[in-house]
């Protein structure tokens, strides 16, 4: 019975193509959920140890008699359970995850220009406060996905034994990290492999997470990728789903069987993937031998002469003959003339189908008429994606470590040191492009009374798109990059005027 049903869970969570603009509050049936957790006759311990329960699950008799409030396996529709069967995992069905492009919550009021001594100090204090939790690197931030949404990574394999970590502090740390990003659209990547009976949290803690992470955290969550899901995870979700009365939440769950499937939605080379997960994935796909996207292309071979996305600045300049790439020129010009007063500019998502069409036009050397697109967020996101897709970040790999070390520089010397970096160490073409973009950002800040985008908001958006390491970025480094971007915006005249 269970095996027949297990072939169909994924379809239910991915059937709907588009998200609606209005997110209703998540309703929580606490008594029902706790009852489900208590009465579900699933071999939790065995599953976590990698010994999967018998497919013919034994469920409480009351479920089958109709006297209990919980559904039975036989009551779940054919689209409610996993497709995994005797032939192995079925190919991943990604579904449509086109962002809705709207954030209804009010943005915070303009907080003004912060004093210079706050640029890197807050991150150091946070590191000290949660050092015992952060050192495990359970939670990481991996830049933006292909639609410009922040990516938060949670790795179960990095959870230490339960006796060695305070799960309440872990929850507080999770909330602290999410607080920096939840006012933007964001996505979560959860690596399930590595959860065992030794490091698994109590189910009551998971329920507490749901209750404490209220609508502020759930509203702008646009996709939740569960990587290497087991049958147990899929069945557990279907048991709990009736008590989480939000259709939209179900649409956000995305089961990912193999790591390479994430490349369709994320910048895989920037994703923080634990070695244990990589090894597990390699074993799972050994028989199918799919192409691994773990490396990064280092040249422009195979690209169009007119291509602008995913290539080097040198490639673009050699074809178009201009320092400022056409995509940067056109997006900045349009935004300056039409979008300075648009609320949430650079912060909201845009329609993925339109974005791909715009990218295709730019890659074919065409001029894009953004007025026809009918959405000011299209050029804003197109600019962010261009920066993130560069083969080398605009601020260059060479400046990554010097910029991270700025927090050790005395406050009164920070601006002078950044100015020296930009004028002496950044290539001239990169300098001119950076100046062109940051000038626009200062104009956006000047209109923050209308667009609700101050320098802190913009820094969170642009920090990881201006600079990233060759490998994987740590969570603490993301804070330094955001602070550096804020320093560029707040001190534009001092930094860029010759």
Q: For residue 5, report the phi and psi dihedrals to the nearest 5 degrees.
A: -70, -30
Return d(Cα 437, Cα 465) in angstroms, integer.
12
Instruction: Assess contact for 153 and 142: CB atoms under 8 A.
Output: yes
Residue 271: pLDDT above 50?
yes
Return d(Cα 419, Cα 497) in angstroms, integer.
10
pLDDT reported for residue 371: 92
Please indicate whether residue 59 or residue 406 has the higher confidence score (pLDDT). 406
Return d(Cα 246, Cα 428) in angstroms, integer.
51
Q: How many CA atoms within 13 Å lie on the side-chain side of 225?
A: 31
Q: Distance from CA of residue 464 to its chain's centroid?
A: 12
Residue 490: pLDDT above 80?
yes
User: pLDDT, tens digit, for every residue of 281-297?
Assistant: 888 888 666 555 444 44
User: pLDDT, tens digit, for every residue of 316-335?
Assistant: 999 999 999 999 999 999 99
Cα 240 to Cα 154, 207, 216: the distances in Å are: 21, 10, 21
Residue 397: pLDDT above 50?
yes
Cα 193 to Cα 260, 263, 293: the distances in Å are: 16, 19, 20
pTM reported for the whole predicted model: 0.56
Q: Which two tokens stand for residue 492?
A: 């534009």
Compute how many other C-beta atoms are within 10 angstroms of the C-beta atom of residue 75. 13
Q: Which two tokens stand for residue 465?
A: 């798109």
Is the sign of the CA dihedral 340, 416, 324, 149 positive or negative? Answer: negative
Q: At what angle do helices 455-466 and 377-389 cross, to 10 degrees?
A: 40
3-state secondary structure of 92: coil
User: pLDDT, tens digit, for every residue of 177-218?
Assistant: 888 888 878 899 999 999 888 998 888 888 788 788 877 888
Express as a percent the part of the chain with pLDDT over 70.
68
The mean pLDDT value for 123-137 works out to 75
Cα 1 to Cα 5, 7, 51, 77, 241: the distances in Å are: 6, 11, 20, 12, 20
Express as a percent the part of the chain with pLDDT over 90.
38
pLDDT reported for residue 323: 93
Residue 35: pLDDT above 60?
no
User: pLDDT, tens digit, for every residue of 445-456?
Assistant: 999 999 999 999
């Amino acid at each position: 019975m269970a095996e027949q049903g297990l072939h169909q869970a994924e379809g239910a969570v991915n059937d709907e193509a588009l998200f609606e603009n209005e997110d209703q509050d998540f309703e929580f049936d606490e008594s029902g959920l706790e009852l489900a957790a208590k009465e579900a006759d699933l071999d939790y311990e065995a599953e976590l140890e990698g010994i999967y329960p018998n497919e013919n699950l034994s469920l409480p008799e009351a479920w089958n008699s109709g006297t209990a409030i919980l559904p039975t396996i036989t009551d779940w529709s054919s689209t409610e359970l996993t497709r995994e069967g005797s032939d192995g995992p079925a190919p991943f069905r990604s579904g449509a995850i086109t962002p809705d492009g709207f954030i209804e919550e009010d943005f915070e009021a303009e907080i003004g220009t912060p004093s210079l001594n706050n640029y890197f100090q807050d991150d150091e204090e946070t590191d000290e406060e949660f050092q015992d939790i952060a050192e495990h690197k359970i939670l990481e931030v991996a830049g933006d996905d292909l639609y410009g949404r922040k990516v938060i990574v949670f790795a179960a394999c990095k959870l230490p034994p339960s006796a060695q970590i305070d799960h309440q502090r872990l929850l507080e740390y999770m909330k602290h990290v999410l607080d920096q990003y939840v006012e933007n659209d964001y996505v979560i990547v959860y690596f399930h492999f590595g959860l065992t009976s030794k490091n698994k949290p109590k189910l009551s803690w998971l329920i507490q997470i749901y209750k404490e992470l209220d609508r502020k955290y759930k509203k702008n969550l646009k996709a939740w990728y569960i990587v290497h899901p087991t049958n147990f995870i899929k069945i557990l979700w279907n048991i709990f789903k009736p008590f989480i009365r939000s259709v939209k939440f179900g649409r956000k769950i995305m089961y990912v069987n193999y790591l390479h499937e994430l490349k369709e939605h994320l910048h895989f080379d920037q994703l923080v993937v634990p070695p244990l997960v990589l090894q597990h994935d390699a074993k799972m796909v050994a028989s199918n031998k799919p192409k691994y996207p773990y490396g990064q292309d280092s040249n422009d071979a195979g690209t169009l002469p007119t291509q602008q996305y995913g290539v080097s600045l040198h490639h673009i300049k050699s074809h178009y003959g201009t320092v400022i790439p056409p995509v940067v020129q056109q997006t900045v010009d349009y935004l300056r003339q039409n979008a300075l007063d648009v609320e949430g500019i650079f912060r909201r998502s845009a329609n993925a189908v339109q974005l791909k069409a715009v990218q295709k036009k730019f890659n074919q050397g065409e001029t894009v008429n953004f007025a026809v697109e009918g959405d000011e967020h299209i050029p804003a996101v197109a600019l962010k994606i261009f920066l993130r897709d560069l083969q080398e970040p605009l601020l260059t790999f060479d400046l990554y470590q010097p910029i991270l070390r700025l927090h050790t520089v005395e406050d009164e010397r920070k601006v002078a040191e950044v100015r020296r970096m930009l004028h002496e160490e950044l290539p001239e073409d990169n300098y001119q492009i950076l100046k062109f973009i940051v000038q626009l950002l200062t104009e956006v800040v000047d209109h923050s009374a209308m667009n609700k985008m101050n320098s802190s908001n913009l820094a969170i958006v642009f920090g990881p798109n201006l600079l990233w390491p060759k490998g994987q970025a740590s969570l603490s480094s993301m804070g330094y990059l955001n602070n550096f971007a804020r320093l560029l915006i707040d001190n534009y005249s001092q930094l860029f005027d010759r």
